[in-house]
Amino acid sequence: MNDDNTVFVGAKPTMNYVLAVLTQFRVTDEPVAVKARGRTISKAVDIAEIVRHRFLPNVKIKDIKIGTENLKDKNGRKSNVSYLEIYMQQEGEMPQSGGRGKREREKVKDIDKDTKKDKDKD
């Protein structure tokens, strides 16, 4: 897997990472990885679930990897840090909403109908 298709989770708000994952799915058909260590692991799970349930129901979890990394802090002490990697794959076509939500699309349709009626009167 290419690092270009990887979202590394950190201290930013969750929706920033959700947007990053959605952007990756827009530009590639390859799996997208969400990677996190330590305290950000729960945020990585949230990101994957938000992407799947709110935005792209056609995205499936392809693989999950967990493990422990041995890291040295700035004082030279070793510590164990857990990591999580979630690999997601898009199945089928990417939904095309035109950048609008359902209510906004319905309003546009209503406006279009009203405009058409006004033109027919003329």
Q: Is residue 111 part of a domain?
A: no
Tell me the average pLDDT across 28-37: 95
Q: Is the pLDDT of residue 17 over 90?
A: yes
Average pLDDT over the chain, rounded to an integer: 85
CATH number for the domain harbouring residue 46: 3.30.110.20
Tell me the average pLDDT across 64-75: 94
Q: Cα(98)–Cα(91) distance, rounded to whole angstroms?
A: 20
The single-letter code of the amino acid at 82 is S
Q: What is the DSSP letter of 94?
A: P
Q: Is residue 25 part of a domain?
A: yes
CB distance 11 to 54 below 8 Å:
no
The closest of 100, 69, 82, 1 to 37, measured between CA atoms, is 82
Write down the residue that tokens 């935005």 correspond to: 55
Q: Is residue 22 part of a domain?
A: yes
Per-residue pLDDT band for 43 (boundaries 50, 70, 90) equals very high
Q: Is residue 113 part of a domain?
A: no
Q: Domain containing 92: what range? A: 3-97
Q: Is residue 108 part of a domain?
A: no
Per-residue pLDDT tens over the stretch 84-122: 999 999 987 766 655 545 555 555 556 555 555 555 555
Number of domains forming the structure of the chain: 1
pTM metric for this prediction: 0.74
Q: Give the model's pLDDT for residue 116.
A: 53
Tell me the average pLDDT across 7-19: 97
Burial pattern 83-120, b for ≥16 Cβ within 10 A else e, equals bbbbbbebeeeeeeeeeeeeeeeeeeeeeeeeeeeeee
Tell me the average pLDDT across 55-81: 94
Q: Is residue 112 part of a domain?
A: no
Q: Is the pLDDT of residue 66 over 90?
A: yes
